[in-house]
Homo-oligomer: A and B are copies of this chain.
Amino acid sequence: MSPDSAPSDTTPTDAESACFEAGIKFGSLYHQFAGTPISPESVSSLTTAMEQSIENQPHCSDVTVDVRTNELETALADSSADYTELTGRFLEVEIVVDYEGCEVVTRMEMQDGYPLMRLESVRS
C-alpha cells in the first residue's frame, strides 16, 4: 500500500459528512424537546420553536415538525391531566440538510412503538 493511500480509505466523503450532520440535528431535536409539557393549545408554538431552533444549526436547510394530534388526544383522554409530555409517540419530523452541495433528507416516524429516525435520500 502506498503511504498516501491510507487516509483516503477512511476520510469521510461529503455525503457521509452530510449524513452525520443530519443525524446531529435529529438527536438534538429529540433530546432537547422530549419531556416538554404539551397540550393541544401549545402544539403550534412548540412545533414552531422546534423547527426554528434546529434550523439555526449549521447546514440545516429545513425542519418540519408535525404533532400527531389524534395520538395526543388519545393520550389525554386516558389521563387525569390535561397535558402530557412530548415524546416520539406524538411526533413526525422531516429534516433536510445541505452540506457542500450534498442534500440529505431524513425522517422520524413511529415504527413498532419506537420512534425510528432514518435516512430517506442522499443526493450528491
Contact = CB atoms under 8 A, between A and B. Distances in A.
Interface in A96-117: 104, 106, 112-114, 117
Taken together, the copies of this chain in the complex come to: 4
Interface residues of A, number: 63
A30 to B, nearest CB: 7
Interface string A17-47: 1011111111111111111111101100110
Given A27-B27, A52-B41, A122-B10, A20 B17 contact: no
A36 to B, nearest CB: 5
Nearest to A43: B52
Contacts of A10: 121-123
Tell me which of A10, A51, A112 has the highest count of chain B C-beta atoms within 10 A of its own C-beta.
Answer: A10
A19 to B, nearest CB: 4
